[in-house]
Structure 1
């Protein structure tokens, strides 16, 4: 049986890396901020790590992420969110991978999509997004 590789190992072995940094505006309310990540393209597999202000809140989530509560608007103000995802091409139909990142609950919804093709069948791509929460 093959040994399960860590997210860090998969990221090092990936054929390409794509990253993005942005701001997400929150307010002083107790409204919850929710994270959703859609792993794609059709038939692709992914694993993600979610770190909020240096604390890992999800070490290895396999597949898409839906409804991950990050905290209230006021508790997130001034904090950093880092999401690292490795998407592996397991589809014979396409070598395209995509990372669809969504935040809701702040002052406005936020969506950012990244795409990258792997060099060969079975290859992986690393995605990283960094968000600073601010009022």
Structure 2
């Protein structure tokens, strides 16, 4: 089972990728890990990467601002990304909360069928 807490091992996994990828996106669970992870990717020779943290999530989100450190050409730049900046609506965490298997399956089918809403916007983001 899972420990239920976030540990350094959550950060080490993407850094120890055995596939030897040179381009990747890495989510971090706390914003203070964005730059250390970006620097580690640079030291490992990663060609192009985004290290992201969005509104408490280790991913890009539509619930608020996502902080990004982009590693490209050996340089790291930081910027913020919002749903509004890419033409999407901001959503609440409750709008993104799933349910039981039947609810989630219906939500996925609806989204794949073209239904607008929080799930679609999050996938597009």
TM-score with structure 2 setting the length: 0.31
Higher relative contact order (CA 8 A, sep 6+): 1
TM-score with structure 1 setting the length: 0.30
Greater percentage in strand: 1
